[in-house]
Chains A and B, each alone.
Chain A
Amino acid sequence: MENFFGSIYCWFESLFGANIAEYLWGYNCGTQDYTNPNVFNKIGLLVLLISLVLSFVYYYVLNSAKWNRWWHWLIVMFVCGIVNFYVGVQSVLADFLDGNIGDCLMYTRDENSEIISQLINESDCWMFGVANMIVSMIFFFVLSFVIKWKSTNCKHTPFL
């Protein structure tokens, strides 16, 4: 269960890179083990919660016959994606800029400890935001089909 969220995010690892993934898994350069908190779980739970709230709002708060077409649902899903894109970027970018990501994940160094290459760039943090957006939209899609059935006006949205 502790690897559930991480496993889902790793479907999109090619977007944000293995080193950001290791950081989010909780790899600690000092201990050379996964002894830091699993950040995937923290972000994943937050994304799940936001997706649940937004789908609940659509189906039971908004719950409008004027908003029960499939493209209305799609708009809400994209709003969910945009919100979680921001959440994803901020989660990682703050640590990147504050230097909280371990040195061994950030750089390759030679025998004299001189930097040979930088392994994580700011663009990788933005790409994690994209991955987070996709994951949140998947959550929104699945949650929609779990909770929509009691909605009076939208239970057939997006389909079925």
Chain B
Amino acid sequence: MKKRAFLYIMVILLCGCTEPEGRIHSDKKKGDSVSVCVDDTTINISKPTFCVYIENSGSMDGYVKGVTQFEQSVYSYLSDIKISGITDTLNLFYINSQVIQQGSDIEDFIKKLEPTTFKKKGGNRGTSDISDVIKTILKTIDGRTVALLVSDCIFSPGRGKDAEQYLVNQQIGIKNSMADFLKSNDCSIMFYQLNSQFDGFYYNREDRPTKIKEQRPFYMWIVGKTEYVAELRNRIPDNKIKGSGVQNVFTISQGNKSVNYAVVNGSGNFRLDRKNPKTNIIDAKKESRGKGDGKLTVSVNVDLSEFLLDDSYICDVQNWELNDKDFKLESVHKSSLNGYSHILKFASNIVKPTTLSAKLKMSVPQWVYDQNDEEGVDIRSNGAMRKTFGIKYQVEGVYEAFTANNNVYYTSIKININK
């Protein structure tokens, strides 16, 4: 009897000990430091959760003094996210050396974006270890979470440090974190550059402050499952973001994807192979004089909509690589055919049996290098006011993670050509 009672008591005690996973935050107060973003008790499993991180290191104070374009951009973007219905759960955080929860009230959050609030929230505001910040954020993302990081993205190696070595190490750290994340997650990234009034102290690479009141760039990293990021961009296009508006964009998705494509019937002097009409052409000949400049021409409809790429990127023939030097990609423009996003036009002076392959390259856009401040010493020299110290190292770190294992192409298409 005593033994049975003892067993009953043990069972009751054991059942009461474990908290269900996900309730770990429900008793946490706003302002408490947290290690993960998602509270499972509030999740709508059909929609992603958005976790917004505003970096609150000392260098960010100048963006939130008074009402600024920074605040306008962030407020409008977060409001549009909420209104769009893409998510039912939007969690707000400050981030520096810690992640500090700020609830979900966007209006209240924006109203309190001031240097005094930043200081009050704590954490190590003296340095910006961006590699660590990105690593922390990646740990919070799962298949149902989209993370948005708003930051000036300025590295701060500190006094007496080898800045160049620091930047390279940060790049490697970002690459490693991202590469680890990509091993088990489908992911795409959008990286927006915007501008805002900045009234405060700019800290150079040695943490020496300079008081400035100028337009300065800031950035938004958006990281999540490709379908969520694509849906976000579809619902909130770049030109809808208020404030200064988006100045530049970098997007990247995982590569080596298969896409839908088909040869355009009648785009040249050839027949379609009825067994494989989308990919094989037969009886290929040069066009008659006065039409197609007497060349063999063939156009291909292709669906590149799953990649978060601007038309300007896709339509730049330099971003395509062909395997046959006798062929040239003459143009890429939007397709009007349902199910396809773009149409590629190829031409050749030589008619020969071949398998023509065209690959869309993954690359870092030129603006990242143009906007990179390599020195990070004097904000008032060499156009540094409009640039960001070390920005290219962050972007290259991400790029190298996505293109690891020789995955340097988004996709490739192949057309079999026969005479």
Residues of chain A at the chain B interface (Cβ within 8 Å): 3, 18-19, 22, 25, 27, 29-30, 32-34, 104-105, 108-109, 111, 113, 119
Bound CA span A98–B274, Å: 26
B346 to chain A, nearest CB (A): 15
Q: Is the CB of B266 within 8 A of A32?
A: no
What residues on B are CB-neighbors of A108 within 8 Å? 266
Do residues A22 and B264 form an inter-chain contact, with CB atoms below 8 A? no
| A-side contacts of B278, CB under 8 Å | 32-33
Partner of A34, one of B263, B274, B301, B334: B274
- CB pair A19–B266 under 8 Å, yes or no, is yes
* B359 proximal to A (CB < 8 A): no
B262: Cβ under 8 A from any A Cβ: yes
**B279 CB to closest chain A CB, in angstroms?**
10
The closest CB in chain A to the CB of B345 belongs to: A111
Please name the residue on chain A nearest to B333 by beta carbon.
A111
Residue of A nearest to B265 (CB): A104
| A25 to B274 alpha-carbon distance, docked (Å) | 9
Q: Which residues of A contact B262 (CB under 8 A)?
A: 32-33
Looking at the complex, which one of B271, B274, B277, B333 makes contact with A32 (CB distance below 8 Å)? B277
> Which residues of chain A are near B336, meaning CB under 8 Å?
109, 113
Compute how far the CA of A104 lies from the CA of B262 in the bound complex, rounded to whole angstroms.
13
Shortest CB-to-CB span from B407 to chain A, Å, is 28
Query: For residue A113, which residues in chain B have a CB less than 8 angstroms away from its CB?
Result: 336
B272 in contact (CB, < 8 A) = yes
Residues of B within 8 A of A109 (CB): 336
**In the bound complex, how far is the Cα of B262 from the Cα of A147, in angstroms?**
47
Q: A104 and B271: CB pair below 8 A?
A: no
* Inter-subunit contact A27/B338 (CB<8 Å): no
A104 pairs with B264, CB closer than 8 A: yes
Cβ B263 vs Cβ A105 within 8 A: no
Smallest CB–CB gap between A110 and chain B, Å? 10
Tell me the minimal C-beta distance from A6 to chain B in angstroms: 9
Q: How long is the Cα–Cα vector from A48 to B336 in the complex, in angstroms?
A: 41
Query: In the assembled complex, which residues on chain B have CB atoms less than 8 Å from the CB atom of A119?
Result: 266
> In whole angstroms, what is the CA distance A115 to B79 when docked?
44
Tell me the nearest residue of chain B to A108, going by C-beta: B266
- Tell whether A30 pairs with B277 under 8 Å between CB atoms, given A22-B265, A105-B266, A111-B333: no
10 interchain pairs (CB within 8 A)? Answer: A3-B274, A22-B265, A22-B272, A32-B265, A32-B337, A34-B274, A34-B277, A105-B266, A111-B333, A113-B336
Contact B265 A27 (CB under 8 A): yes
- With a cutoff of 8 Å between Cβ atoms, the chain B residues found around residue A29 in the complex are 265, 337
CB neighbours (8 Å) of A33 from chain B are: 262, 277-278
Within B318-350, the residues touching A (CB, 8 Å) are 331, 333-334, 336-339
Q: What chain B residues lie within 8 Å of A27 (beta carbons)?
A: 265, 272, 277
Chain A residues whose CB sits within 8 angstroms of the CB of B263 once the complex forms = 32
Contact A32-B301, Cβ < 8 Å, known A18-B271, A19-B266: yes
- Chain B residue numbers with a CB within 8 Å of A19 are 266
**A25 → chain B closest CB, angstroms:** 7
State whether A105 touches B265 (Cβ < 8 A): yes
List residues of chain A with CB within 8 A of the CB of B337: 29-30, 32, 104
Beyond A18-B271, A25-B274, A111-B333, whether A30 also contacts B338 by CB under 8 A is: yes
Assembly CA distance A30 to B278 (angstroms): 12
Give Cα A34–Cα B277 distance, bound, in whole angstroms.
Answer: 8
Give the nearest-CB partner of A18 in chain B.
B271
For A32, the chain B residues whose CB sits under 8 A away are 262-265, 277-278, 301, 337
CA distance A9 to B331 in the complex (A): 37
Q: Which residues of B contact A25 (CB under 8 A)?
A: 274
